[in-house]
């Protein structure tokens, strides 16, 4: 789309909340470090007294980006030891290899990794963040009892009709004489389960052309599954220790229907084990 890193930084400066980290204040952009170099953003949550050291990168995440982010985080926490600090990596693409590295580092460093995708919608560019790794990464969506229930009517008002059509089509593909998919409408997502735990979560949006999908798989099988999806034309990413995320449109579902159905049927089977 011909957009550069400065364009992305400008958008983040205009609206820091687009990273999905909440309502943060920008304490500095290209904040100079004592040892040289500049951190892209130093952000602060005033109420929580927490600083976020944010590094933004176009393209795929690499080793130098990881090292630089952790180095800046360490410098800032030593300068302001009275505050909590979070290292934040933002990249267009986070491969499975580097996700595993980040997850290992997450045990020692409060590290947040965000995959930030850009989508063209008419004359506008829509930025869509997916937090693939958080400071507390092992909270399992399926094991949390939802506190805010919704219903079909709620989502018909909130979401683009095409997204509900995507959900309905996938539910129909998963159902047979033995399996009867169970839909749970919550205020922030729509979940699918059968006789086991919920295994797939949809996050439709009213004004974007994409629907964020997350599903659980077997940890040992995830690398092969990610490779299969990426080879098949679906830009899938790892999330937590067992989950996979990707963005779906009606067009992509039409083109990759067999692949999407296959991986979600596998996820449904895994949920019953």
pLDDT (tens place) for every residue of the chain, 273 residues total: 556 778 888 888 888 888 888 888 888 887 776 666 788 899 998 666 789 999 998 888 888 889 989 988 988 888 888 788 999 999 988 888 888 888 888 878 889 999 888 777 677 778 888 888 887 544 444 444 444 578 889 888 888 888 888 999 999 998 876 678 889 888 778 889 887 778 999 987 665 667 888 899 988 899 999 999 999 999 888 877 788 888 888 889 999 999 999 999 999 988 877
Judgement on whether residues 122 and 158 belong to the same structural domain of the protein = no
3-state secondary structure of 74: helix
Out of 113, 133, 153, pick the residue that ends a domain.
133
Judgement on whether residues 218 and 167 belong to the same structural domain of the protein = yes
Judgement on whether residues 242 and 195 belong to the same structural domain of the protein = yes
The total number of structural domains that make up the chain? 2
Q: What is the CATH number of the domain that holds 155?
A: 3.90.1150
Predicted local confidence at residue 106, as pLDDT: 81
Q: What is the CATH number of the domain that holds 117?
A: 3.40.1350.10
State how beta strands 84-93 and 50-60 pair: parallel
Judgement on whether residues 127 and 145 belong to the same structural domain of the protein = no
Judgement on whether residues 73 and 169 belong to the same structural domain of the protein = no
Task: Please give the residue range of the domain that contains residue 176.
Answer: 141-271
Judgement on whether residues 145 and 238 belong to the same structural domain of the protein = yes
Predicted local confidence at residue 146, as pLDDT: 42
Judgement on whether residues 85 and 190 belong to the same structural domain of the protein = no
Judgement on whether residues 116 and 160 belong to the same structural domain of the protein = no
State how beta strands 200-203 and 182-185 pair: unpaired
Judgement on whether residues 185 and 206 belong to the same structural domain of the protein = yes
State how beta strands 84-93 and 111-121 pair: parallel
Predicted local confidence at residue 228, as pLDDT: 94
């Amino acid at each position: 789309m011909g957009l550069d890193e400065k364009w992305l930084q400008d958008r983040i400066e205009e609206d820091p909340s687009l990273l999905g980290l909440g309502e943060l204040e920008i304490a500095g952009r290209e904040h100079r470090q004592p040892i040289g170099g500049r951190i892209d953003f130093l952000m602060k949550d005033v109420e929580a007294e927490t600083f976020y050291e944010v590094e933004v990168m176009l393209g795929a995440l690499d080793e130098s980006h990881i090292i630089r982010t952790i180095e800046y985080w360490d410098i800032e926490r030593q300068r302001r030891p009275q505050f909590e600090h979070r290292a934040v990596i933002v990249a267009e693409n986070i491969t499975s290899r580097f996700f595993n590295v980040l997850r290992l580092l997450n045990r020692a460093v409060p590290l947040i990794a965000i995959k930030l995708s850009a989508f063209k919608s008419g004359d506008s560019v829509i930025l869509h963040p997916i937090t693939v790794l958080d400071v507390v990464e092992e909270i399992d969506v399926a094991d949390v009892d939802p506190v805010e229930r919704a219903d079909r009517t709620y989502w018909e008002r909130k979401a683009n009709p095409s997204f509900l059509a995507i959900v309905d089509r996938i539910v129909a593909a998963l159902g047979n004489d033995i399996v009867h998919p169970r839909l749970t409408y919550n205020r922030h997502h729509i979940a699918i389960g059968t006789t086991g735990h919920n295994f797939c979560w949809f996050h439709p949006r009213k004004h974007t052309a994409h629907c964020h999908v997350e599903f659980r798989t077997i940890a040992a099988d995830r690398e092969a599954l990610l490779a299969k999806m990426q080879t098949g034309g679906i830009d899938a990413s790892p999330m937590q220790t067992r989950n996979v995320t990707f963005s779906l449109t009606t067009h992509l579902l039409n083109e990759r229907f067999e692949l999407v159905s296959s991986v979600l049927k596998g996820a449904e089977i895994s949920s019953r084990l």
